[in-house]
Amino acid sequence: MPENGLPLAQIARLLGVPEDALRTLVAQRRPATGDATLVALTVEEAARRLGIGRTKLYEYVSTGEIASVKIGSLRRIPAEAVNDFLTRQLGASDFGTAA
């Protein structure tokens, strides 16, 4: 059931679309499951947040552009490191100075 409390069948009827099609669309549009409260992300989670590939993120980690820590044998990216990286990229981008 959607967050607004209306059943999908009723919404589909109001929109004039098949309920199965609406259910498929809703399932596709749901954000990837993830815990926004995590303070340390896996490489895959951090890459997904940035919208880049895992290999590219490992490249940024190896060059030190994105901070990471080893916890045992696991590599984790602090959540704030993702935001810091984006802030630095925005400052270095021509898009911030385009008229």
β-pair partners for 77: 41
Whether the full predicted model's pTM is greater than 0.85, yes or no, is no
- Model pLDDT for residues 43-64, shown as the tens digit of each residue: 999 999 999 999 999 999 999 9
- Model pLDDT for residues 6-35, shown as the tens digit of each residue: 677 887 787 788 888 878 877 766 555 556
CB 22 within 8 A of CB 10: no
At 8, which amino acid appears?
Answer: L
3-state class (DSSP) for residue 69: strand
